[in-house]
Amino acid sequence: MHMHKFEKIWLIFGISALVVFLSVVGVSAFYFGFKPPSGHHIIDPQKVEQTAPFDKPGLIKVEGKEWDYELVYVASAFFYNPQEVEVPLGAKVRVMVATKDVIHGFQIVGTNINMMVEPGYVSEIVTTFDKEGEYLIVCNEYCGTGHHLMSSKIKVVK
Ligand code: CUA
């Protein structure tokens, strides 16, 4: 079969682009562990503060689980509760976030944690804080006039 030179170049370009895009998706999913938030854990958005563990936001030590701590956040316009929390270095933590009102974001800057927090669902991820220092949490879903003020802080300490 005869193929024109430009046809060949175009075909090679198309296939290479496909390989590159699929590799990017594969590496981010399997190597970096990016995945959509799980939707199987639901919550009544009007009763967030009456529903355990969201009735006591903050760091909770747990026993007999795959992780050592649960770090519980209630998000609302334009605030995270708790505002600041200390996590021991090297602790395996299950981060759980629920919103009382609208959609918020939950990104821990400098990590691969970046979740959407939707009313009715608990967003969660298990992570290990293995670097000392201060981590900023920001909202990256536009949620209203105070969106840019919405933040919290995690201090990882020895
Ligand atoms: Cu909360 Cu933007």
In this predicted structure, what is the pLDDT of residue 35? Answer: 74
Residue 38 has a pLDDT of 58
Q: Cα dist. 107→13, 64, 117 in Å?
A: 35, 28, 10
Q: What lines the ligand 1 site, CB under 6 Å?
A: 78, 104-105, 139, 141-143, 147, 150
Q: What pLDDT score does 90 carry?
A: 94
What tokens were used for 115? 């979740």
Q: What is the pTM of this model?
A: 0.76
- Residue pLDDT, tens place only, 58-105: 999 999 989 999 999 999 999 999 999 999 999 999 999 999 999 999
Residues sharing a CB contact under 8 Å with residue 152, sequence separation 6 or more, in sequence order:
73, 80, 82, 83, 84, 85, 136, 137
Decide: 100 and 48 in contact? Cβ < 8 Å: yes
- What's the confidence (pLDDT) of residue 39? 55
Ligand 1 atom 1, closest CA:
104
Q: Which atom of ligand 1 is nearest to the CA of 143?
A: 2
Q: Which atom of ligand 1 is nearest to the CA of 141?
A: 2
